[in-house]
Structure 1
Amino acid sequence: MIYKIFWAIRAVIYAPFFGKFGFPSYLGRPIFLMGTRNVFIGKKVRIFPHLRMEVHRKGNIHIEDDVVISQNVHITSAGNLTIGKSSLILANVFITNIDHDYQELNQHIVKQEYLVNETIIGENCYIGMGAAIMAGTKLGKQCIVGANSVVKGAFPDYCVIVGAPAKMVKKYNFETQKWEKVK
């Protein structure tokens, strides 16, 4: 518990370098932060140690209120990237809105253009351990992403997504009030 006091102190020290840093949020020791002026963190956000967060070019990252980001998470943005309120992101997750073009032969990938596509994680989502949320992904409200899933595309509210590539396997049925398999 005492370590959280140090994390809160760290948050106070780092806050002026962010576009917004709501309190009482806290920040475990990051391993790398870049472009924090374009990072907007809401209230009561808990970020555990070993976060790598990068903003490139004119990108931004919006982390809404009451989000929990576990250890060893990598978030990178060159466009709009949003993590909706009350979401939980478990350890070893990668979230991006950037792909690298690879059309030019004999040209190193990192020297080719970024392909940027907005990524949105909806409100109250649960991102399982080791998942990769790829550029252009749009998760609706309260989506559940299984561990080690590779997610790309648009998914509706209240669904369970698993696999590589990820597919919707369940959806909440409000009539029966149960999570039901998708056919």
Structure 2
Amino acid sequence: MMIYKLFWGLRAFLYSPFFGKMGMPSYLGKPIFLKGIKNVFIGKKVRIFPHLRIETQDGGSVVIQDDVVISQNVHITSAGKLEIGKSSLILANVFITNIDHEYFEIGKHVVNQKITVKNTTIGENCFIGMGAAIMAGTNLGKQCIVGANAVVRGNFPDYCVIVGVPAKIVKKYNLETQTWEKVNY
């Protein structure tokens, strides 16, 4: 695995002039699909595994802060502001966006209808479980844990566990007792 990381580090270095910012040392697995990467800003020590698809459109931006790990087969799209906080871990097969497609015009293909943009933020030290979808307008606080296959939309405070479709808070961290406590929803 170490030899791959050396090649991935070299790839990040060679791609760095095309990004808005590429902090080093970081690495990029291959293959990778990139579109509009002048608006993608990557911090230091960011580890991106193979099959990332990251794209910006209409002046949107993606900011990935320091020490983030993005596993394989992750898709990130932005037409507004999308930020991933430092020291977060995103597992495989995750989708993150700040774009919704309108569907109101009957008989017109959804792709050809207007898009709606709502900024999306993942707080620092978050854990995004395998297969989760982080939808437009989502704001996760610090150290949120998102369960596998959750579909997340809305505002969630610091230190909570979010699961389900649609995602709901099932645990919160109590700062006074320093324990994770179940939440009845």
TM-score (norm 2): 0.98
Q: Counterpart of 2:148 in 1: which secondary structure?
A: coil
Residue identity over aligned pairs, in percent, reads 75
- Provide the aligned length of Structure 1 versus Structure 2: 183
Runs of 4+ in 1 over 4 A off after TM superposition: none
**1:73 maps onto 2:74 in alignment:** yes
| Counterpart residue identity of residue 173, structure 1 | N
Amino acid at match of 1:161: I
Residue 182 of structure 1 corresponds to 183
Residue 104 of structure 1: aligned partner? 105
Deviation at 1:30, TM superposition (A): 3.5
**1:32 shift after superposition:** 1.1
The aligned amino acid for 2:100 is D
> What amino acid is aligned across from residue 172 of structure 1 in structure 2?
Y
Measured in 2, the distance between the counterparts of 1:79 and 1:52 equals: 17
In structure 2, the partner of 1:37 is 38
- Distance apart, 1:161 and its partner CA: 0.1
Letter of the 1:122 counterpart: G
Q: Please tell me the residue identity of whatever aligns with 1:54.
A: E
**What is the CA distance between 1:176 and its match in structure 2?**
1.1
Q: Distance in 2 between matches of 1:83 and 1:103?
A: 31
SS at match of 1:44: coil
| SS of alignment partner, residue 176 of structure 2 | coil
Q: Secondary structure at 2:58's aligned position in 1? A: coil
Q: What is the CA RMSD across the aligned residues, in angstroms?
A: 0.6
TM-score, length-scaled by structure 1: 0.99
Amino acid at match of 1:182: V
| TM-fit CA distance, 1:174 | 1.1
Contact 1:31 1:52 in 2 (8 A): yes
Give the counterpart letter for 2:59 in structure 1. Answer: K
Q: Could you report, residue by residue, the CA deviation over 1:102-121 in whole angstroms, capped at 9, with x for unpaired residues?
A: 11111110010110000000
Query: Unpaired runs of 5+ in structure 2?
Result: none
